[in-house]
Amino acid sequence: MLGNTFAKISLATVLALCLLACGASSSAAPKVRVAVSRDAVTLLPVHLAQTLGYYNEEGLDVTLTEVAGAPQNAMREGTIDVALGTTTPIQAAASGESIQGFLVIYSTTNNVLIVSPGANGAVHGFADLKGRRIGVSNVNSLSEIYLDYVLQTNGVRKEDVKAVAIGVGAPAAAAVERGDVDAGLLLGGSINMLLQKHPELTILADTRTPEGSQKIFGTAVFPGSLLVAEERWLKGNPDTARRFVRAVRKAMKWMGDHSAQEVRANLRADQRIADAQADLQTIRDFQHMLSPDGAIRKGSPELMYKVLSGSLEDVRKAHIDLSKAYTNEYLSGK
């Protein structure tokens, strides 16, 4: 009798432990590892989704990490799942890899080709750039590819100038201000850091507005910040991908509905520009650039291919199926 009672108790204990273990396993939040840049504004809704608790609302465990080097390498190594990479899907396809763009954050790029204070009196147009040093975020980066395209469309060969790495954010603005370069292709917060101090500087190209984008790219819409992931991760985690997209889109809407001051208040101190006015103006710029729905527009993949193929021989030589490089599949709630 005692043996039967002990057996029943033991069985009940085992069953209870199994149920607890199963419950813990099923309730574990899916993890999403996201690579972010040092200039937080370029992926501001991704940061806001964490600050505002939208990832938690979607039942996700999201980690945001600064990654040195190309995010494509980190994906290949399995250390991140999602990254910023507007043209990465095309570049990946050229090397036989499958990375997909799945959520547009900003509908235009945030690039300004601006003349340095020291060269401002001598450089009035693109022709005056020949033989000069021009700053880009990094040599062989997307920043330099954009520069090549802007120069080519304005009658200047890339061989006629020297691209110099100046980084992003405050270091980039300082490099242009000091005259380390004669002009710089600035992006994000560095633009207003410089213009707040030197509003008289000549701007040769500005894609922050639909009008500026139309002038450079021939279209008012050119994905400025696009989230990408390996196709195998997206296909293997469709529900997680959709929940992640919902959280970021909530943050995009919140960002568009609130003042620049409220947006800035929801950033960490280390994510803010020290010059508050420059920071607020940068946030306003990006608020105007927000994609209304996160979708890849018809014609955008072809345009991105055109920009890349002008600089990258491997892209020109590759047979790339652009229909597989970008997808709107994860925008739906299903």
Residue 55's domain is classified under what CATH number? 3.40.190.10
Q: According to the model, what pLDDT value does residue 2 have? A: 43
Q: Is residue 9 part of a domain?
A: no
Token output for 120: 């401002």
Average pLDDT score over residue span 284-301: 93
The per-residue DSSP string of 194-237 comes to HHHH-TT--EEEE-SSHHHHHHHHSSS---SEEEEEEHHHHHH-
Task: Report if residue 53 sits inside a domain.
Answer: yes
Q: Which residues of 256-294 are buried (b: 16+ CB within 10 A; e: fewer)?
A: eeeebeebbebbeeebbbebeebbbbbbebbbebbbeeb
Tell me which of 171, 206, 241 is where a domain ends. Answer: 206
- Read off the pLDDT of each residue in 81-91 and give the average, rounded to a whole number: 91
- Inform me whether the pLDDT recorded for 62 exceeds 70: yes
Q: Which region among 9-23, 43-57, 178-192, 201-215 has the lowest average model confidence (pLDDT)?
A: 9-23
pTM as predicted: 0.84
Does residue 258 carry a pLDDT above 70? yes
User: How far apart are the C-alpha atoms of 71 and 88, rounded to whole Å?
Assistant: 9
Residues 103 and 115 in one domain: no
Out of 166, 181, 206, a domain closes at: 206
Do residues 88 and 72 touch, judged by C-beta distance below 8 A? yes
Residue 331, helix vs strand vs coil: helix
Residues 324 and 226 in one domain: yes
Query: Tens digits of per-residue pLDDT, 167-208?
Result: 988 899 999 999 999 999 998 889 999 999 999 999 999 988
Question: Which pLDDT tens digit goes with each residue over 227-237?
Answer: 999 999 999 99
Q: Coil, strand, or helix at residue 307? A: helix
In a domain, 39, yes or no: yes
Calpha distance 272→189 (Å, rounded): 9
Kindly state whether residues 260 and 319 are assigned to the same domain. yes
- For 231-279, give the DSSP string: HHHHHH-HHHHHHHHHHHHHHHHHHHHS-HHHHHHTS-GGGS-SSHHHH
Mapping DSSP to helix (H, G, I), strand (E, B) and coil, where does residue 98 land?
coil
Structurally, the chain folds into a number of domains equal to 2
Looking at the structure, tell me whether residues 237 and 286 fall in a common domain: yes
Residue 290 has pLDDT above 50, yes or no: yes
Phi first, then psi, for residue 226 (nearest 5°) are -130, 130
The vertex-260 CA angle with 258 and 265, nearest 5°, equals 90
Residue (of 323, 200, 241, 204) closest to 34 by Cα position: 241
Shared domain for 116 and 193, answered yes or no, is yes
pLDDT in tens, 20-38: 444 444 468 999 999 998 7
pLDDT of residue 334: 54
Q: Does 151 fall in a domain?
A: yes
Q: Do strands 82-84 and 225-230 pair parallel, antiparallel, or not at all (unpaired)?
A: antiparallel
Q: Give the domain range for residue 185.
A: 111-206
Same domain, 294 and 327: yes
* Axis-axis angle for helices 238-257, 44-51 (nearest 10): 100
**70 and 184 in contact (C-beta within 8 Å)?**
no
Distance CA 242, CA 274 (A): 35
Residues 93 and 229 in one domain: yes
